[in-house]
Amino acid sequence: MTMELVEAIDRRPLHREVADRLRDLIIRGELRPAQRLNERLLTKRFGISRTPLREAFTILAADGLVTLLPNRGAMVATVTAADAEDMFQVMAVLEALGGELACQRASDVDIAEVRALHEQMRGYHDSRDLDAYFDFNQRIHQKIVDSAGNRELTDTYKRISRRIRRARYLANLSRERWDHAMDEHEEILEAFVQRDSGKLKALLAVHLRNKYEVVRAWLAENERTAVAGAAKS
């Protein structure tokens, strides 16, 4: 008697799946900063009860993506220019340490994986697929940090990068800046392949600073618009 092959059951907790879906909606801007999270609409959209949804809110609050409102539900967290400056300062330290350790500890397989991700990202750059480009961009940076072999560094970097990624995704990215970012990644890859920690750290610092300038300009403009709107009302 032969046993039929069955598809494996996904036993991942429901609230974590919901948190991932909401996180993606927030990062990609479908759920905007300061927007109230309507529990009735979201439970209907995902086909779930309020319990896993509220548990998902708690996870996202820990990530800094959602603000819990006592007895009033939750809303998408806002990001100010001051918030962005604080996050990018910490991210600069994390990326510098991650780059240094990765050059020492990354396996040849790790480097090959970063190269493969880079080639895919370049293809999305050439086809002007910004969504896919951002996805692979983040995967490259995370993989370099993962290659450092420090779990605390990896977890901290992942948490902060989610918040930065949201602001980065919403900020306007000019064609010129996108092309420059791609050129910067070419240099980052080469330094990583050569395991040149000093060069990699310097390149990551420049790349991050340029990201920050784009986000800072976008947030500053948003804040000016909000102030002007409040003055008129």
Domains 14-76 and 81-220 are alike in CATH topology: no
The verdict on pTM exceeding 0.75 is yes
- Indicate whether 229 pLDDT > 70: no
Percent of the chain, pLDDT > 70?
A: 91
Provide the pLDDT for residue 131: 85
**Distance of alpha carbon 218 from alpha carbon 171, whole angstroms:** 5
For residues 47-59, give the mean pLDDT. Answer: 94
pLDDT class for 232, splitting at 50, 70, 90?
low
**Distance of alpha carbon 177 from alpha carbon 110, whole angstroms:** 28
Q: What is the CA radius of gyration of the chain?
A: 20
In the chain, where are the structural domains located?
Answer: 14-76, 81-220
The fold adopted by the segment(s) 81-220 is: Four Helix Bundle (Hemerythrin (Met), subunit A) (1.20.120)
- Indicate whether 117 pLDDT > 80: yes
pLDDT class for 172, splitting at 50, 70, 90?
low
Percent of the chain, pLDDT > 90?
A: 65
Phi-psi region of 147 (alpha: psi -120 to 50; beta: other; left: phi over 0): alpha
For residues 24-45, give the mean pLDDT. Answer: 90
Q: What is 14-76's CATH number? A: 1.10.10.10
Question: Would you say 138 and 161 are in contact if contact means Cβ atoms under 8 Å apart?
Answer: yes
Question: Which candidate, 175, 169, 174, 183, places its Cα nearest to that of 122?
Answer: 183
